Each structure stands twice: as C-alpha cells, then as structure tokens.
Homo-oligomer: A and B are copies of this chain.
C-alpha cells in the first residue's frame, strides 16, 4: 500500500510519492553511524578472499604467519599485511613465543559469522 506523501518529511529523494510511516519506522531501526561504520569495515575485511581464508583457517586452530603463508600459498608479506588489517579491527590477536607470532581469532562471534556465511553460499552453488 503506497500512501501519497504528506510532504512532512524533507525532500531527500527526487521522488514524489513516499510512505512516511515506512520511512520513519526504517529510520528508527537504524543502528548508530559508529556501529554501521565498524560493521561495514569488518565485513569489508572479510570481503577479501585471502583475508577470508586466513580467518577461516584461524577459526580451526592457532597458526603462525609462516604456516598461514605455506598453507594458503601466499607470500609472507601479503599474510602479514592482511593480519595487520584484521588485527586493527580486533578480528584476530596474537601471542609471541620467541620469534614466532601465533595468531588466532579474537572473538568466537567471528568464527560463527564466517561459518554461517559459508553455509549460506554453499546453498547457492
């Protein structure tokens, strides 16, 4: 059901017929700009095939940079750059044992997110 606009809302759209109730209800359920930005950055990080593979690998067990590079066929530098991005978003963390940095997921939520994602896409293939 489309309701002709009462023009009670400012013209943010070049379209003439809007449903004010839907627009206000939609705005009310929106998350804060900070939450949107942070989640978008999180998804963007997972939106690179190599970073996604890294996260998926780390969701199984703790791995060092060189194990990741060898397992995924990536250069050490590329892995390290990717891990920094994931670290800055607090998706992964690491502990250092001598020279070796062992990385793992910072939060179990991330593992669930990626697992759910794979479940979803594997239905589409």
Contact = CB atoms under 8 A, between A and B. Distances in A.
Interface of A: 2, 9, 12-15, 17-19, 22-23, 25-27, 29-32, 34-49, 52-53, 56-57, 60-61, 63-76, 90, 100, 107, 109-110, 112-114, 116-122, 124-125
Contacts of A61: 22, 25-26
A98 to B, nearest CB: 9
Number of copies of this protein chain within its complex: 2
A35 B116 contact: no
Contacts of A17: 66
Given A31-B56, A39-B114, 19 more contacts: A12-B69, A12-B74, A13-B75, A14-B76, A15-B65, A15-B76, A23-B67, A25-B61, A26-B68, A27-B71, A30-B53, A38-B125, A39-B117, A41-B47, A42-B47, A43-B117, A47-B47, A110-B120, A116-B116
